[in-house]
C-alpha cells in the first residue's frame, strides 16, 4: 500500500486489477442500469478470474461461430449450423428464457462471466460477452486507460475463449452516446477487435451503439475489424434497417436492445412526467415489432436481445421490467409480465400454457393518465383497473402509492426506487378508494394484478397534487374563459 498510494488514478486501477488476478471470484452478478437509450450501463469490472473452471475450459474445444455472406444475405452459423439469435438482456431467470425458446443472453461487462457462461451452457444457451468501454472521449487519448482495457481483454481471452457457451465478444455499449463517437475511440475499438481475433479465431467481435447513422459511418471508416454491429433501438426500431442501408457500413447488425418505447420517447404529462403503457400495451409492442422489424430483416439482422429480462428502476420500477421481482409487501420470489408471454410466442410460435393477466386500462376518478390528472390535498379518489385473465385464474390486486423519483439516473447510472407511501393494499377487488396526499407534489399510483400461477400485469398513473387556486385567481380564470 505504501507504493500504490503514490500512483496516478489510472495506475491505481491497473495495480488493483493486477492484484485482483491473484484471487478467485465466484461470478457475482453485477447490477444493471439502463441508459437514456435503454442500455445496461455497468461500471468498469474487476476481472473475474475463474480458476475453478480454468483447467476445464483450457482443455475444451471452442464451438466455432462464423458470420457468412450467402446469396446476398448474412447468416450467423454456430458449429456449422444456422443460428438466429433469440436473446435476452439480463442475467437472471435463464430457466424461463430457455423454456420460452430463447437461445442467448447478453452482458454489458465481463463481470461474473464464468458463472454466467456455465449457467447459460446448462440451459443450452450462449453468451454475447461484453467488455465495458468508457463514454469519455478523453480516455481514448489516455495510454494508461487503453493499457487497462488491453489487459482486461487479454484476461477474458485467457479464461473464456474456449468456453462452449461463448457466442461472440461485444466491445462497449453506446460509447457514441456521450462523447465517445470519435476517430480515436473507434480506432481503439478496432485495435481491440484485432487483438481478440488474433487470439480467438472462433468467435466474432461486435461493438454496440445507440441508434445514430453517423456512428455507422465512423465504424465503416475506423473499425473495419468488427464483424457486426449491435444497435440499441426502441421507438426507432422500425427505422433501423433504412438507417443502416443509408450509411457506408455494409456489414450485418444485431438488435442488442429493444422493447417498449423508452421513457424519453413516451408521451408526457403537462408537468413533464412520462406516461407508461400498460403491460398489455407493452406485450402488443413486442409482438408487432419482432415480426415487422427483426424477422423481416433477416438478410442483414442476425437476431436480437430483448430488454430487460428482469426488473430495474428507471423512472418507474415497471417501465422496462419483464419480471416483477420486488412486489411491495408480497412474499413472492418473482412474477413474469405479459411481455414474457409475447416473447415466448415470438421465439417458439406457441403461447405458454398459462399467461399473465391482461391489464388494459387504469383510471383515477374516471381519468386516464393522458388526461393530466390533478387533485387537491385530501381529495377523495377512486382508482379502477380493467383486467382479465386468459385462463380465468383468480386475481389479486396490489396497489402502491409512491412519490415520483427526484433522483434520476443519467445515462444509465443507478436510480433509487422511491419508497411507498402509506400501507400497501392487497385484495381481490379491481377498485381502490383513497385520498390524495396532504402534501403538494408529484405522485404515481401503481397496480399489480397477480394470477395464481406466478404472473403479473401492471399499470400506473402519474398525478399531481396542487393547492386549489385562491378566490382572486379563480375569478380571473372564469372571466378569461367567458371573454
Spatial CB neighbours of 334, under 8 Å, sequence gap ≥ 6: 93, 323, 324, 325, 454
Q: What is the pLDDT of residue 326?
A: 82
φ, ψ of residue 433 to 5 degrees: the values are -100, 130
Q: What distance in Å separates the CA atoms of residue 208 and residue 172, rounded to the nearest whole number?
A: 6
| φ and ψ at residue 228, rounded to 5 degrees | -160, 170
Q: Is residue 49 classed as helix, strand or coil in its secondary structure?
A: coil
Mean pLDDT on 461-479:
71
Q: Grade residue 412 by pLDDT with cuts at 50, 70 and 90.
A: low
Instruction: Please give the Cα distance from 63 to 170 (Å, whole number).
Output: 17
Distances (CA, A) of 132 to 152, 253, 355: 10, 19, 36
pLDDT value for 430: 97
More confident residue, 36 or 404: 404
List domains and CATH numbers for the chain: 4-257 (3.20.20.80), 358-465 (2.60.40.1930)
Confirm if 440 and 420 have CB atoms less than 8 A apart: no
Q: Which residues pair with 140 in a beta bridge?
A: none
Poorest-pLDDT segment among 32-36, 100-104, 108-112, 252-256: 32-36
User: Which residues have C-beta within 8 Å of that of residue 294, sequence separation ≥ 6?
Assistant: 237, 255, 258, 301, 303, 304
Confidence of residue 431 (pLDDT cuts 50, 70, 90): very high
* pLDDT value of position 48: 38
Distance CA 398, CA 122 (A): 35
Strand partners, 76: 67
pLDDT tens-digit readout, 198-253: 999 999 999 999 999 999 999 999 999 999 999 999 999 999 999 999 999 999 99
Query: What mean pLDDT, rounded, does the chain reach?
Result: 87
Tell me: pLDDT of 479 over 60.
no
Q: What is the model's pLDDT at position 472? A: 55
Sorting pLDDT into bands at 50, 70 and 90, what band is 469?
confident
Amino acid 424: pLDDT: 87
Amino acid at each position: 500500500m505504501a507504493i500504490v498510494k503514490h500512483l496516478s488514478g489510472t495506475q491505481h486501477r491497473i495495480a488493483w486489477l493486477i492484484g485482483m488476478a491473484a484471487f478467485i471470484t465466484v461470478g457475482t452478478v453485477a447490477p444493471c442500469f439502463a441508459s437514456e437509450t435503454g442500455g445496461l450501463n455497468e461500471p468498469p469490472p474487476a476481472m473475474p478470474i475463474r480458476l475453478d473452471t480454468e483447467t476445464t475450459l483450457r482443455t475444451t474445444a471452442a464451438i466455432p461461430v462464423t458470420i457468412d455472406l450467402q446469396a446476398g444475405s448474412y447468416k450467423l452459423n454456430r458449429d456449422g449450423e444456422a443460428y438466429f439469435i433469440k436473446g435476452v438482456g439480463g442475467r437472471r431467470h435463464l430457466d424461463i428464457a430457455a423454456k420460452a425458446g430463447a437461445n442467448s443472453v447478453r452482458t454489458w461487462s465481463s463481470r461474473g462471466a464464468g458463472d454466467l457462461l456455465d449457467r447459460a451452457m446448462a440451459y443450452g444457451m450462449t453468451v454475447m460477452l461484453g467488455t465495458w468501454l468508457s463514454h469519455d472521449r478523453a480516455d481514448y487519448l489516455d495510454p494508461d486507460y487503453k493499457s487497462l482495457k488491453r489487459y482486461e481483454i487479454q484476461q477474458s481471452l485467457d479464461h473464456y475463449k474456449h468456453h462452449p457457451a461463448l457466442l461472440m465478444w461485444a466491445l462497449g455499449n453506446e460509447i457514441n452516446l456521450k462523447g465517445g463517437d470519435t476517430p480515436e475511440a473507434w480506432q481503439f475499438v478496432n485495435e481491440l477487435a484485432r487483438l481478440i481475433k488474433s487470439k480467438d479465431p472462433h468467435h466474432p467481435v461486435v461493438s454496440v451503439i445507440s441508434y445514430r447513422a453517423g456512428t455507422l459511418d465512423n465504424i465503416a471508416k475506423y473499425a473495419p475489424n468488427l464483424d457486426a454491429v449491435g444497435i440499441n433501438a426502441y421507438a426507432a426500431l422500425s427505422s433501423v434497417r433504412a438507417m443502416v442501408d443509408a450509411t457506408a457500413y455494409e456489414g450485418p447488425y444485431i438488435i442488442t436492445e429493444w422493447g417498449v418505447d423508452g421513457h424519453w420517447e413516451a408521451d408526457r404529462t403537462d408537468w413533464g412526467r412520462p406516461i407508461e403503457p400498460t403491460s398489455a400495451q407493452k406485450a402488443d409492442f413486442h409482438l408487432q415489432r419482432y415480426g415487422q422489424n427483426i424477422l423481416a430483416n433477416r438478410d442483414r439482422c442476425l437476431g436480437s436481445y430483448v430488454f430487460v429480462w428482469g426488473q430495474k428502476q428507471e423512472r418507474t420500477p415497471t417501465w422496462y421490467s419483464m419480471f416483477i421481482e420486488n412486489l411491495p409487501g408480497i412474499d413472492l420470489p418473482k412474477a413474469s409480465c405479459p411481455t414474457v408471454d409475447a416473447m415466448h410466442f415470438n421465439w417458439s410460435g406457441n403461447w405458454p400454457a398459462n399467461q399473465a393477466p391482461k391489464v388494459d386500462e387504469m383510471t383515477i376518478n374516471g381519468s386516464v393518465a393522458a388526461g393530466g390528472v390533478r387533485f387537491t390535498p385530501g381529495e377523495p379518489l377512486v382508482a379502477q383497473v380493467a383486467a382479465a385473465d386468459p385462463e380465468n385464474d383468480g386475481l389479486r390486486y396490489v396497489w402502491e402509492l409512491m412519490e415520483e423519483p427526484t433522483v434520476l439516473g443519467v445515462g444509465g447510472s443507478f436510480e433509487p426506487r422511491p419508497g411507498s407511501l402509506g400501507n400497501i393494499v392487497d385484495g381481490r377487488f379491481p377498485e381502490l378508494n383513497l385520498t390524495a396526499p396532504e402534501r403538494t407534489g408529484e405522485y404515481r399510483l401503481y397496480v399489480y394484478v397477480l394470477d395464481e400461477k406466478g404472473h403479473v400485469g401492471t399499470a400506473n398513473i402519474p398525478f399531481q397534487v396542487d393547492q386549489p387556486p385562491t378566490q382572486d385567481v379563480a375569478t380571473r380564470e372564469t372571466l378569461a374563459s367567458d371573454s
